[in-house]
Amino acid sequence: MAESPVALLRAHARHAPWNARGLAAHATALVDAAGMRPTNASARAAPSARAVRFYVANGLIDHPQGKGTAATYLYRHLLQLLAIKVRQREGHALDAIKIEMAGLSGDLLEKRVAQSLARALDGGAEAVVPHDDERTVSWRRIPVADGVELHVRDDVAAARDDAVVAMRESVRAALGREDVR
């Protein structure tokens, strides 16, 4: 029995806390892996650390713990950023998103984000089917950092160049955290 999208999304909480750049990279990887097609330029843009700070200043994302370069973002911040990017890719403006998010509890926010990103959270489980022994499967090796690399099978959706770049950047962001060094 497959895990629920909410449980799979909660697994990302173990990567917290993030700095603004790490939060943006993690959210980008999830939204890109979901294969959601952006409807406009603002939705197409991957969130940056600057965008995260903009969303905080405008009340779309809760204030982080700490200030300046010591600011850290937690799982709730990830949910908020994911909700913003998902809704933008669905064609909604930031003003409408802000109003909508103001009335959402944490559980409802989590459920909505998990449903929207279910395909990405599942990690391509539908591709985990038995292969004929005669079929040749090729893998890509993607260097991330010294001693760290990703292995991606070429015949899955996660092998798209944009998804590979997002995964690589997320791993690099995680490696930049002090508790991982």
For the domain that residue 30 is a member of, what is the CATH number? 1.10.1660
Across the range 163-178, mean pLDDT stands at 78
Task: Enumerate residues 6+ apart whose C-beta is below 8 A from 74.
Answer: 13, 16, 17, 64, 65
Question: pLDDT class for 121, splitting at 50, 70, 90?
Answer: low
For residues 38 and 172, the model is more confident at 172
Residue 144 lies in a domain: no
Range of the domain at 70: 5-127
- Per-residue pLDDT at 162 exceeds 90: no
CB atoms < 10 A from the CB of 69, how many? 7
Q: Please check the confidence at residue 135 and state whether its pLDDT lies above 60.
A: no
In a domain, residue 145? The reply is no
pTM, entire model: 0.65
More confident residue, 69 or 63: 63
- CA-nearest of 81, 76, 120, 114 to 97 is 81
- Structural domain contains residue 153: no
3-state secondary structure of 44: helix
d(CA 60, CA 65): 16
C-alpha dist (Å) from residue 136 to 131, 142, 161, 170: 9, 20, 21, 29
Is it the case that residue 115 has pLDDT exceeding 90?
no
The DSSP 8-state label assigned to residue 65 in this structure reads: B
| Residue 15 domain flag | yes
Q: What is the pLDDT of residue 56?
A: 94
* Distance of alpha carbon 1 from alpha carbon 155, whole angstroms: 24
Phi, psi of 105, deg, nearest 5: -75, 170
Residue 39 lies in a domain: yes
| Residue 40 binned pLDDT confidence (cut-offs 50, 70, 90) | low
Is residue 98 one of the residues assigned to a domain?
yes
Residue 49 within a domain: yes
pLDDT of the residue at 31:
80
18 neighbors 72 (Cβ within 8 angstroms): yes
- Residue closest to 87 by CA, chosen among 148, 40, 140: 40
